A = this chain, B = another copy of it.
Amino acid sequence: MNKEFNCPVEATISLIGGKYKSVILFHLMGKTLRYSELHKKIPKATDKMLAQQLRELEKDGLIKRTVYPVVPPKTEYNLTEFGESLSPILNAMCNWGESYLNIPSQCVEES
């Protein structure tokens, strides 16, 4: 697999371009969420997809996964500093989607 990129844009997309990756990252901005909370926010993703994308984001150093050895199980996800550095991009994507695609904003969280 070729991991060299000619263009920064291409490199960036390779990290956040997955079907649910940018959405996951967006929901985790400035927050810590449990697996089930994350899943509620992205209902269309199956467990398989969600777990897989989370593993990749973790491998790429964008998110941190914390497992609490309790019953019932508890796993929390949050962005690393590296992940947080994506905020300008994620916010730009959210704003654009709202403005130009008229997507109802469930991104700007209601409390």
Contacts and interface: CB of A to CB of B under 8 A. Distances in A.
Contacts of A19: 13, 17
A82 B100 contact: yes
Contact of A107 (B7, B42, B85): B7
Interface centre among A11, A20, A100, A101 (most CB of B within 10 A): A11
Interface string A66-92: 000000000000000010011011101
A97 interface: yes
Interface of A: 2, 5-13, 16-17, 19-20, 22-23, 26, 41-44, 82, 85-86, 88-90, 92-101, 103, 105-107
Chain A interface, >50% SS class: helix
Contacts of A86: 96
Question: Which 4 pairs show the lowest CB-CB distances between chains A and B?
Answer: A8-B97, A12-B93, A8-B103, A12-B97
A96 B12 contact: yes
Contacts of A9: 22-23, 26, 90, 93-94, 97, 107
Contact of A92 (B6, B20, B92, B101): B92
